[in-house]
């Protein structure tokens, strides 16, 4: 029964499991399928003939669109080579919104331009009804002196106090580098990538489905953000690892009731509509120059409460006015 799949990872072939999922029942679907690059998965042949691979992809892409609600979104992560094929399939059954370029370098291949990004296709089931929230990421700063990396010339007063709106090029989320943060899986995605996708396209309680769940990154992100999740995964060992991780996680990726994605005491992604509410709890610089070297957003060690509390002041109201009228740095 469909309800048995909610808030768990189910072991099995996604095409079979999809049959139990009703039409228009899921808020977002996110897929990170095998790339057919001869990766060493436990249970998957990652070396199909081109025609076989594309035929198989068409089947699960169609299922993703079928189960997604009219207000929902479909996300597909892959290398550009395969995404060019996927757009041909998806353009017929859903509506293109974005090709997100995720800056994530790979090892040198020779005799080719160095591949330095993955793509995430972002499709709406119905453009008019599509749920979407603008999101922000923090200004890039020097780790030591906290100075802003970018030179904004004389226009600093127009800066958003927290950071720019997220564009369709994501350079601030990195692949998992250290083995101690990795599961026994050849291509685990970083949690913050999924948290960003979920924050911009869903609300609390919405259902997120990942048909190639791996070691459960999407489910974990959904749970941390108070969403419901459905994961399908062929390999029993990856299912076991996922369940172990998800069980101990709580829906607590929030500050004062506001859902955010954070890492190492810094917010990674924040919804634009939540900034005004959240800014009451952060230090807002008094003079324009201070924006350069004061940690505007810093979280406490236990990640639950902000470190610096100061009341919303007149200067910050002025900053927000500038942002609305000029909005020069956002895109």
The whole-angstrom separation of Cα 229 and Cα 288 is 43
Rg (the chain; Cα; Å): 21
Give the DSSP H or E segment for 77: strand 68-78
> Least Å distance between CB 185 and ligand SAM?
5
Q: What mask, x for binding ligand SAM by CB under 6 A, covers residues 33 to 72?
A: xx------x-xx----------------------------
Interface with ligand SAM, residue 217, by CB under 6 A: yes
Residue showing tokens 């072991």:
11
Interface with ligand SAM, residue 224, by CB under 6 A: no
Longest CA pairwise span in the chain (Å):
63
Interface with ligand SAM, residue 214, by CB under 6 A: yes
Interface with ligand SAM, residue 20, by CB under 6 A: no
Beta-bridge mates of residue 26:
68
Interface with ligand SAM, residue 237, by CB under 6 A: no
The whole-angstrom separation of Cα 20 and Cα 4 is 10
> Least Å distance between CB 213 and ligand SAM?
6
Residue showing tokens 């709406």:
124
Q: Which stretch binds ligand SAM (CB under 6 A): 26-34, 97-105, 113-121, 162-170?
A: 26-34
**How many CA within 13 A on the CB side of residue 59?**
14
Q: Which stretch binds ligand SAM (CB under 6 A): 96-104, 233-241, 268-276, 320-328?
A: 233-241
How is residue 165 written in tokens? 């709106």
Residue 168 or 235: the one with the smaller Cβ distance to ligand SAM is: 235
Interface with ligand SAM, residue 212, by CB under 6 A: yes
Residue showing tokens 């230090």:
283
The whole-angstrom separation of Cα 20 and Cα 28 is 17
The whole-angstrom separation of Cα 239 and Cα 252 is 23
> Least Å distance between CB 14 and ligand SAM?
4
> Least Å distance between CB 252 and ligand SAM?
21
Interface with ligand SAM, residue 103, by CB under 6 A: no
How is residue 129 written in tokens? 């009804």
Q: Which residues bind ligand SAM (CB under 6 A)?
A: 13-14, 32-34, 41, 43-44, 185, 187-189, 211-212, 214-215, 217, 232-235, 238
């Amino acid at each position: 029964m469909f309800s048995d799949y909610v808030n768990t990872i189910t072991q099995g072939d996604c095409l079979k499991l999809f049959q139990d999922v009703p039409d228009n029942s899921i808020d977002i679907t996110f897929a990170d399928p095998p790339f057919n690059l001869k990766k060493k998965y436990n249970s998957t042949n990652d070396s199909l003939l081109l025609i076989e691979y594309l035929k198989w992809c068409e089947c699960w892409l169609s299922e993703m669109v079928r189960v997604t609600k009219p207000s929902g979104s479909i996300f597909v992560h892959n290398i550009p080579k395969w995404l060019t094929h996927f757009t041909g399939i998806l353009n017929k059954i859903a509506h293109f919104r974005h090709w997100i370029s995720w800056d994530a370098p790979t090892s040198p291949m020779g005799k080719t331009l160095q591949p330095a990004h993955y793509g995430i296709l972002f499709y709406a089931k119905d453009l008019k009804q599509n749920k979407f929230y603008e999101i922000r990421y923090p200004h890039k700063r020097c780790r030591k002196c906290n100075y802003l990396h970018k030179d904004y010339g004389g226009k600093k007063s127009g800066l958003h106090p927290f950071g720019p709106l997220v564009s369709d090029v994501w350079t601030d989320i990195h692949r998992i580098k250290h083995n101690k943060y990795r599961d026994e899986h050849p291509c685990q995605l970083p949690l913050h990538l999924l948290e960003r996708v979920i924050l911009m396209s869903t609300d609390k309680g919405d259902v997120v489905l990942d048909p190639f769940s791996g070691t459960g990154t999407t489910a974990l992100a959904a749970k941390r953000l108070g969403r419901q999740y459905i994961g399908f995964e062929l390999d029993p060992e990856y299912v076991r690892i996922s369940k172990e991780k998800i069980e101990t996680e709580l829906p607590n990726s929030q500050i004062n009731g506001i859902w955010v994605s954070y890492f190492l005491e810094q917010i990674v992604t924040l919804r634009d509509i939540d900034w005004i509410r959240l800014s009451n709890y952060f230090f807002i610089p008094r003079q324009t120059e201070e924006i350069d070297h004061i940690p505007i957003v810093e979280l406490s060690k236990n990640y639950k409460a902000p470190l610096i509390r100061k009341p919303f002041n007149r200067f910050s109201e002025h900053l927000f006015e500038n942002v609305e009228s000029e909005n020069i740095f956002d895109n």
